[in-house]
């Protein structure tokens, strides 16, 4: 019986040693896993920072693109307005004979001056309207005027 107890005791001690070794190995593995997790967190933080940097750079590129598109639209719009102004001047030059005929038909100088004042008021109003409108609205007005 004593021998059996001794064997059991020895088995129990072996089992305790195995458990202790297993626990030490598990703690070592757990420590390795913690180190790997720390490295992964560090990499994740670097990736997040790089992502934020890329987002900022993308925003700057997008903003610059919009600025360039707006400048291009302004230049393009100015060229269209200039072209319409030249066409408008050509139309006015074509209308000079009509105006001259109208002035010959007006025998009363007072009526002529009234008509000239009305024409000047119209032109001044038209110029003010063009100054106060956006380029696209001005282009529509110029097209409408030229088509008449």
| Predicted local distance difference test score (pLDDT) of residue 103 | 66
Share of the chain above pLDDT 90, in %: 10
Instruction: Tell me which residue range forms the domain holding 131.
Output: 106-148
pTM of the model: 0.38
Question: Would you say residue 43 lies in a domain?
Answer: yes
Assess whether pLDDT exceeds 80 at residue 147: no
| 3-state helix, strand and coil shares in percent for the chain, rounded to the nearest 5 | 95, 0, 5
Long-range contacts of 79-85 (CB under 8 A, 24+ apart): 80/135, 80/139, 81/135, 81/138, 81/139, 81/142, 84/139, 84/142, 84/143, 84/146, 85/142
> Do 69 and 110 share a domain, yes or no?
no
Count of domains forming the chain = 2
What is the per-residue pLDDT for 148? 58
Does one domain contain both 82 and 125? Answer: no
Examine the domain organization and report whether 59 and 119 are in the same domain.
Answer: no
- Answer whether residue 35 shows pLDDT above 70: yes
For residues 80 and 125, state if they share a domain: no
Mark whether 44 and 112 lie in a shared domain: no
Residue 145: predicted pLDDT: 64
In a domain, 96, yes or no: no
Query: In this structure, is residue 56 part of a structural domain?
Result: yes
Tens-place pLDDT, residues 81-134: 677 777 777 777 887 887 777 766 666 777 777 777 887 888 887 777 767 765
Looking at the structure, tell me whether residues 77 and 113 fall in a common domain: no
| Domain end call among 90, 122, 138 | 90
* Shared domain check, 68 and 40: yes
Q: Is 98 within the bounds of a domain?
A: no
């Amino acid at each position: 019986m004593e021998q059996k107890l001794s064997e059991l005791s020895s088995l129990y001690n072996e089992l305790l040693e195995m458990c202790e070794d297993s626990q030490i190995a598990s703690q070592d593995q757990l420590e390795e896993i913690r180190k790997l997790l720390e490295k992964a967190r560090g990499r994740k933080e670097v990736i997040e920072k790089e992502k934020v940097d890329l987002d900022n750079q993308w925003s700057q590129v997008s903003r610059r693109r919009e600025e360039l598109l707006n400048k291009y639209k302004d230049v393009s719009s100015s060229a269209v307005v200039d072209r319409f102004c030249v066409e408008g001047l050509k139309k006015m030059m074509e209308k000079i004979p009509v105006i001259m005929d109208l002035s010959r038909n007006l025998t009363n100088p007072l009526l002529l001056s009234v008509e000239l004042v009305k024409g000047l008021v119209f032109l001044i109003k038209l110029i003010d309207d063009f100054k106060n409108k956006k380029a696209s609205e001005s282009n529509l007005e110029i097209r409408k005027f030229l088509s008449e």
